[in-house]
Amino acid sequence: MNTNQKALVKATVPVLKTNGTDLTKHFYTRMFTHNPELKNLFNMSHQASGKQQHALAGAVLAYAEHIENPQVLINVLQSIGNKHVSLNISPEQYDIVGFHLISSIKEVLGEAAHDELIEAWTQAYNELAQIMISIEHELYESALKKEGGWKGWRAFVIADIVEESDEIKSFYLKPRDHQLIADYLPGQYISIKTFIPELGHEQPRQYSLSSAFNPEYYRISVKREKNGQNLPDGIVSNQLHQKKTGDELWVSAPAGVFYAHPESENPLVLISGGIGATPLLSMLETRKNTLQNSTVVWLHSCRNEKVHAFKDHINHLNTDNQWLTTHIFYETVDNHSDPVKKGRINLQEIRDEILIDNAKYYICGPEAFIKAQYNSLLQLGIAKEDILYEEFGPQLLHLN
Ligand SMILES: Cc1cc2nc3c(=O)[nH]c(=O)nc-3n(C[C@H](O)[C@H](O)[C@H](O)COP(=O)(O)OP(=O)(O)OC[C@H]3O[C@@H](n4cnc5c(N)ncnc54)[C@H](O)[C@@H]3O)c2cc1C
Ligand code: HEM
């Protein structure tokens, strides 16, 4: 891109700030009208709730703001690239997205979209697409090179189903081809894909691998999303909860940038709300298998005992291992013999136990939960770079 084109792209920042989501809404509607096959690939509930339009608008805005030096966005681009790879996005699809994005800019901006501006945005999109395609190429290559690795969708069979709480079930998945499966970093996720008869097409979803790596299977633990009020029940989680052993799912290779490296010796403070426990449980179990002397603090909050998944498992680990301490918080306490705290997690109250030299703090749970814990950690003096978090949906928080 030349200097003039960069200036033109930058000049659209105020418009993107106020109308970015209108643009991406228009873009997705346009794209799904002309390329309905892409509904198999996108999470259509994120479309309905507007979360994905918001995530894409945020990414386009950040790119326009950093058009002089997009490399500062590398961590964000890596995270998006991992999500794309987990959905088997291909370079050719960048042409489809680019065509609809540029057409949408023309249609939404109307007369303000003069030829020079459109040319500048076309260049900008193509450069970003090249960066993304090369990040994704490397991720595909390294997944393929791994023992047991693969690219795209591979058939897995549900080998076992375990009820972890009133609303969470674990699924043990084994490859239909009986060949090796790739290992993963604790905290990473897989995507699964399944046909949804009510929609008439497939839907993918991401699920964190909820145990330490075991060469026999991948384990995911899924919360059944029941909403009741004005919102529909979750499409895929409810279908999964109806599945039986022997049923098949399409699975993509492990991916994701939210992990605790098994070789890192930093103490871990793992803070989860509800189903957000899954990636952190994989970190905890991996720590047990590798570095037993390094401190781990497990903080978990949920509504009540009935929805408390992995309760006995964590209790056993806590009893058997000196290096682990746990604090459990229930919003409602029914059984007063349980060693739990009532209410929400209050980090200030247990500050002496979590202020540990060189510790890394991992947070996973609903958006409001992540924000609250993140801010509490900052107030306790923890540095931003020691706090890592993951949202179970489009990554909309940009706290770091
Ligand atoms: C990296 C990652 C890891 C994850 N790990 C796990 C995990 O370990 N375990 C787990 O259970 N989940 C996990 N998730 C979440 C999972 O991918 C699914 O999002 C979850 O199972 C819900 O999917 P669903 O199809 O059942 O619900 P969906 O149909 O996708 O619905 C999701 C929510 O959107 C709401 N919604 C639907 N339509 C609208 C609308 N029009 N307006 C507003 N809201 C609407 C629904 O009511 C529901 O509450 C993870 C997600 C990510 C990104
Ligand atoms: C430069 C171009 C692109 C940009 C800037 C972009 C940006 C994004 C962002 C920000 C997310 C959310 C990621 C997250 O929060 O984890 C995302 C997810 C996604 N992207 Fe892209 N993307 C691009 C190209 C593509 C292409 C070519 C496809 C293929 C058709 C694609 C398909 C998807 C899908 C299916 C998701 C997941 C959606 C969901 O879960 O709701 N993207 N992308």
CATH of the domain at 122: 1.10.490.10
CA 253 to chain centroid, in Å, comes to 14
What separation in Å is there between the alpha carbon of 47 and the centre of ligand 2? 12
Which is the catalytic residue, given 28, 63, 125, 136?
A: 136
Q: Closest ligand 2 atom, CA of 47?
A: 41
Residue 339: per-residue pLDDT: 79
**CATH number for the domain harbouring residue 159:** 2.40.30.10
CA–CA separation, 100 vs 33, rounded Å?
10
Q: Closest ligand 1 atom, CA of 237?
A: 26
- Between the CA of residue 326 and those of 102, 193, 260, 271, what are the distances in Å? 51, 35, 18, 10
235-276 pLDDT per residue, tens: 999 999 999 999 999 999 999 999 999 999 999 999 999 999
Encoded tokens for 160: 């076992």
The answer to whether residue 258 sits within a structural domain is: no
pLDDT of 292 > 80? The answer is no
Q: Is 381 exposed, middle or buried (0-12, 13-18, 19+ CB in 10 A)?
A: exposed
**Number of structural domains in the chain:** 3
The answer to whether residue 311 sits within a structural domain is: yes
Q: Closest ligand 2 atom, CA of 83?
A: 16
pLDDT of 394 > 90? The answer is no
Q: Please state, as a whole number, how many other Cβ atoms lie within 10 Å of the Cβ of residue 333.
A: 14
Same domain, 16 and 112: yes
Same domain, 292 and 310: yes
- Domain boundary pick from 251, 276, 306: 251
What separation in Å is there between the alpha carbon of 396 and the centre of ligand 1? 14
Same domain, 227 and 348: no
Residue 334: per-residue pLDDT: 78
Same domain, 140 and 185: no
The answer to whether residue 262 sits within a structural domain is: no
198 catalytic? Reply is: no
| Mean residue pLDDT across the chain | 94
Arithmetic mean of pLDDT, 300-313: 95
94 catalytic? Reply is: yes
Encoded tokens for 193: 């894909």
Arithmetic mean of pLDDT, 314-333: 92
What separation in Å is there between the alpha carbon of 206 and the centre of ligand 1? 9
Residue of 54, 195, 206, 397 to mutate, ligand 1, most atoms within 8 A of C-beta? 206
The answer to whether residue 177 sits within a structural domain is: yes
CA–CA separation, 344 vs 331, rounded Å?
6
196-239 pLDDT per residue, tens: 999 999 999 999 999 999 999 999 999 999 987 788 999 999 99
Residue 333: per-residue pLDDT: 86
The answer to whether residue 256 sits within a structural domain is: no
Same domain, 246 and 365: no
CA–CA separation, 207 vs 305, rounded Å?
23
- Between the CA of residue 362 and those of 182, 298, 386, what are the distances in Å? 24, 10, 8
What are the DSSP calls for 258-297, one per residue?
A: ----TT----EEEEEEGGGHHHHHHHHHHHHHH-TTS-EE
Q: Which domain holds residue 238?
A: 154-251
The answer to whether residue 397 sits within a structural domain is: no
| Count of helix runs (H) and strand runs (E) in the chain | 12, 12
Q: Closest ligand 1 atom, CA of 256?
A: 1
- pLDDT tier for residue 293 given thresholds of 50, 70 and 90: confident
Q: Are 282 and 112 in contact (CB under 8 A)?
A: no
> Quick one: which ligand is closest to 187's CA?
1
> Quick one: which ligand is closest to 205's CA?
1
3-43 pLDDT per residue, tens: 999 999 999 999 999 989 999 999 999 999 999 999 999 99
Arithmetic mean of pLDDT, 136-143: 97
pLDDT of 337 > 70? The answer is no
> Quick one: which ligand is closest to 397's CA?
2
- pLDDT tier for residue 335 given thresholds of 50, 70 and 90: confident
The answer to whether residue 261 sits within a structural domain is: no
**CATH number for the domain harbouring residue 306:** 3.40.50.80
Arithmetic mean of pLDDT, 71-78: 93
Same domain, 272 and 245: no
What separation in Å is there between the alpha carbon of 62 and the centre of ligand 1? 25
Q: Is 260 exposed, middle or buried (0-12, 13-18, 19+ CB in 10 A)?
A: buried
Same domain, 7 and 141: yes
